[in-house]
């Protein structure tokens, strides 16, 4: 039995910048099985959000799909028209955006907004108002009668994010895309949101793609991790393998830059340089080479292939040599 909910295969996307198309997502392979929480990790500007928006067909007009497939339950999403996609989006596939104030309509009450999502896909719901209130309770909100009749600006950031999660889960989707859902929240609320996602994943069996720039967040949340750099997947494995035995120099550098008790009083490690802007990227060579302390001449000239190595997939010319 095939448990694969999402399969992205050799997917590439370009964005039009200053009258020319630049590769923003490059040859991405990614899959998620039923009941899994999978992380897509990398710095800002690496293409994580564009990958997420591709799944829901929410790309900007300047985007152009070059090649590849995005399959949901064996159905190629890239071949669907708008009418077909609207039946899936918000129903079988939902998304949590990182900024709840921009995701919620400031002119509509909370209850009305969630109810609209429910009724857009269900015309046989008995007492939709109560179903919405029950969903608000499930995401850990109290005084749901007050929240139902509140406007977004009347709620705290943590409450608004829970509302967004309730909206995303109201139709019991098979796949939930969470695009940096805790970025704007303090550490306490952040932990609550992560616990909520884990709980919902276990109870409903929803597959989750969790997008973040912070490897520390996914340590106790995800089953597997894809590490993305400058539009490409550079490493993928189980969370245990990534944390204990990362193979790619970029993944190693990300882990070294995380604060820990053992590093107390010491200067934190950092990765030199920054992710190159789209318009400054070159097609040849390894994208991480200009920042990599192990880079050699071949790294600047030839793009490395994604290879299997010790239960991981790694895109590095010297993966075996660096991990003896």
* pLDDT tens column, 196-220: 888 888 888 889 999 998 888 888 8
pLDDT category, 263, cuts 50, 70, 90?
low
* Predicted pLDDT of residue 248: 94
DSSP codes, 247-275: -SHHHHHHHHTS--GGGTTSPPP--SS-P
- What is the C-alpha to C-alpha distance for residues 10 and 17, in angstroms, rounded to an integer? 23
What does the angle CA 224 – CA 192 – CA 32 come to, to the nearest 5 degrees?
A: 20
SS3 category, 235: strand
Is pLDDT of 160 > 80? yes
* pLDDT tens column, 282-308: 788 999 999 998 999 999 999 999 888
CB atoms closer than 10 angstroms to residue 80: 16
> Is domain 4-92+171-322 classified as CATH 3.40.50.300?
yes
DSSP codes, 128-154: HHHHHHHHHHHTT-S-HHHHHT--GGG
Q: What percent of the chain has pLDDT over 90?
A: 56
- Strand partners for 227: 41, 235
Q: What percent of the chain has pLDDT over 70?
A: 98
- What is the C-alpha to C-alpha distance for residues 183 and 270, in angstroms, rounded to an integer? 20
E strands present in the chain: 4-17, 20-33, 37-41, 63-72, 75-76, 93-96, 175-179, 207-212, 224-229, 232-238, 306-309, 312-315
Say how far residue 106 (Cα) sits from the centre of its chain: 25
Kindly state the average pLDDT of the residues 163-169. 90
Where are the chain's structural domains? 4-92+171-322, 106-170
* pLDDT tens column, 75-103: 999 999 988 988 899 899 999 987 767 78
Is pLDDT of 66 > 80? yes
DSSP state of 160: H
Query: Taking the model in full, what pTM does it have?
Result: 0.91
Q: CA quadruple 300, 302, 303, 305: dihedral positive or negative? A: negative
């Amino acid at each position: 039995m095939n448990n694969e909910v999402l399969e992205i295969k050799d997917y590439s996307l370009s964005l039009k910048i200053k009258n020319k198309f630049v590769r923003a997502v490059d040859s991405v392979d990614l899959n998620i099985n039923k009941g899994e929480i999978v992380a897509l990790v990398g710095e800002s500007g690496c293409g994580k959000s564009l990958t997420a928006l591709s799944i829901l067909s929410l790309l900007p007009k300047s985007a152009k799909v070059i090649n590849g497939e995005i399959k949901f339950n064996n159905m190629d999403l890239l071949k669907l028209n708008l009418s077909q996609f609207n039946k899936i989006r918000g129903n079988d596939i939902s998304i949590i955006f990182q900024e709840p104030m921009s995701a919620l309509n400031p002119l509509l009450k909370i209850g009305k907004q969630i109810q609209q999502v429910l009724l857009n896909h269900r015309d046989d719901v008995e007492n939709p108002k109560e179903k919405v209130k029950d969903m608000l309770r499930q995401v850990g909100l109290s005084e749901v009668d007050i929240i139902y009749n509140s406007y977004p600006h009347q709620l705290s950031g943590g409450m608004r994010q829970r509302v967004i999660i309730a909206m995303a889960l109201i139709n019991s989707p098979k796949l939930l895309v969470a695009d940096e859902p805790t970025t704007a929240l303090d550490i306490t609320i952040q932990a609550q949101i992560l616990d909520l996602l884990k709980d919902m994943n276990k109870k409903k069996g929803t597959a989750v793609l969790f997008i973040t720039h912070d490897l520390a967040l996914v340590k106790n949340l995800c089953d597997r991790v894809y590490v993305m750099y400058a539009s490409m997947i550079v490493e993928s494995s189980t969370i245990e393998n990534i944390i204990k035995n990362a193979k790619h120099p970029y993944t190693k550098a990300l882990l070294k830059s995380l604060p820990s008790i053992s590093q107390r009083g010491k200067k934190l490690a950092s990765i030199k340089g920054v992710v190159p802007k789209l318009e400054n990227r070159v097609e040849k060579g390894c994208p991480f080479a200009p920042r990599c302390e192990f880079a050699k001449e071949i790294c600047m000239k030839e793009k490395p292939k994604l290879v299997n190595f010790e239960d991981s997939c790694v895109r590095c010319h010297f993966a075996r040599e660096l991990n003896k």
